[in-house]
Amino acid sequence: MRIHAIIISFLLLSLSENLQAQDTLSTEYTDQHSYQLYLEGNWNQLIQFGNKAIENGVDFTYLRLRLGYAAVQNKNYSEALKHYQHILNKDKYNETARYYVWYCREYLNQSEAAIYNVRYFSKETVQKEKLSKYKIKSIGIESSFKTTDNSNRGNSFYNRINLNAQLGWRFTMNQSAVLFNQTINEKFLTLVQRNDSIAIKQKEYYNLITFNIDHHLQLKAAYHYLYTPNNNIIYRNHVSMLGMKYLGNHLNVQGSILLGKISDTGFKQYEIQADYYPSGNLNFYTSSNISFREYAGDHQINMKQIVGLKVNKKLWLEGNVTIGKFSNRAENDGLYIYNAIDPNLAKAGLSIYYAPMKQLLLQIGVLTEKRELFYTNYIFNQHSINGGITWKF
């Protein structure tokens, strides 16, 4: 029996050594073959081979770096992020991974998240990419002309100027100043003097601060002030927003809460938003937003869906639709606040974005809204033409 036990132990030891040797050989072969495919620029075969190796338990930093680079060459930035962030979860100081996470976030139009990684760059890399810790990121203007088929609602004009600044490798600040003008006739606003000609000259200020906690998490805080005169009655509206955003690979998710006062009435809005990049780039993307709102004892639920499509290297189309009745609703991290007295029943639009050069972005779009006249069941339509110019530094 003792001899049998010794023989069995010897066989088990030999088998264990053979398995270890096979694993070592497998790792060595994976390293050599993946490197050869990398040198040849055979990106699709490299991705297929590397993913298969990882499925079989062979996983190391150089393999992930090669797979990430292959995905970048295929313009699948979300897939590349998966490999680079896997490296950073084990070694947060890996500069190659940091560089390409920055690179991918930029190409996914997530520059606020991208800058966090620059703090790990060498001075040489920062200088080579001409990056600055503090700078004006962009300036822009947006204008909108709105007209209705209701004679009691005059044409309206919306104008916004925007300044986006970077305040270090963690912070960005986005500020806007807004002017909105419209003249309306509303007999039910009995407290307003000359209510047959109410001149609304609304002035607004907006400030959004984004703080990068790490390469996955962002904390957002915003404040929106609206000065709204209605002839003899003036409203000073305040809305604040606090949100947390998780940046994944193909999917980003944000939850936020907005609190404040609109027309001297308490306002609460809770929302969750998900941005999805199925192809790992901006060739096709979606953004889905669900919000729940409390205002003046009323509860409203809305869903907004955005779908974007890249037409060519410089041109994008983006469609949007908002479902559900709403009034006093906030959108885009509290940047836009719909505080008109006429409830909105449905909203849909189409925008075209054109980037003739890296620094310049042009926008033009149309928007159609179905509205319910204040204090009645009468339905009317409002149509808008929107335009914008953004210069990036």
CA distances from 21 to 10, 31, 59, 319, 351 (A): 16, 15, 16, 57, 59
Q: Are 117 and 103 in contact (CB under 8 A)?
A: no
- How far is C-alpha 257 from the chain's CA centre? 16
Single-letter amino acid code for the residue at 147: T
The Cα–Cα gap between 381 and 149 comes to 6
Total domain count, the chain: 2
Bridge-partner residues for 269, per DSSP?
258, 293
Quick one: 114 and 172 in the same domain?
Answer: no
Shared domain check, 302 and 182: yes
For residue 195, the one-letter residue type is N
Contact 257, 270 (CB under 8 A): yes
d(CA 204, CA 236) in angstroms, rounded, equals 10
Residue 361's pLDDT is 97
Q: Are 89 and 174 in the same domain?
A: no
Q: Per-residue DSSP letters for 289-332?
A: EEEEEEETTEEEEEEEEEEEEEEETTEEEEEEEEEEEESSEEET
Do 186 and 303 belong to one domain? yes
Q: Could you tell me if 253 and 288 are in contact, meaning their C-beta atoms sit under 8 angstroms apart? A: no
Q: For residues 286 and 74, give the distance between their C-alpha atoms in angstroms, rounded to a whole number.
A: 21
Which of residues 128, 157, 172 is at a domain's end? 128
Domain that holds residue 55: 2-128
Would you state the pLDDT for residue 106?
96
Give me the pLDDT at residue 297, please.
Answer: 85
Residue 97 parent element (H or E): helix 95-107
Q: Does 201 lie in the same domain as 257?
A: yes
Q: Note whether 155 and 124 are same-domain residues.
A: no
Residues 6 or more apart in contact with residue 150 via CB below 8 angstroms: 373, 378, 380
Which of 74, 97, 128 is the endpoint of a domain? 128
- For residues 249 and 306, membership in a common domain is answered with yes
Please give the pLDDT value at position 296.
Answer: 86
Last residue within a domain, chosen from 111, 128, 145: 128
Per-residue confidence (pLDDT) for residue 14, from 0 to 100: 42
Distance CA 325, CA 328 (A): 11
Q: How far is CA 361 from CA 79, 139, 388, in A?
A: 27, 11, 8
274: domain CATH number is 2.40.160.40
Q: Which of 48, 47, 88, 51 is nearest to 71 (CA)?
A: 47
Percent of the chain as helix, strand, coil, to the nearest 5? 25, 50, 25
What is the rounded CA–CA span in Å between residue 350 and residue 104? 27
pTM assigned to the model = 0.89
Residue 281 and residue 174 in one domain:
yes
Q: And the tokens for 370?
A: 């179905």
The span from the CA of 292 to the CA of 270, in Å, is 5
The residue assigned the tokens 């601060």 is 209
As averages over each run of 10 residues, the pLDDT of the chain (393 residues) reads 45 40 66 94 96 94 97 97 95 96 96 95 94 96 97 97 97 98 96 95 98 95 97 96 97 98 94 97 97 92 97 96 94 96 96 96 98 96 97 95
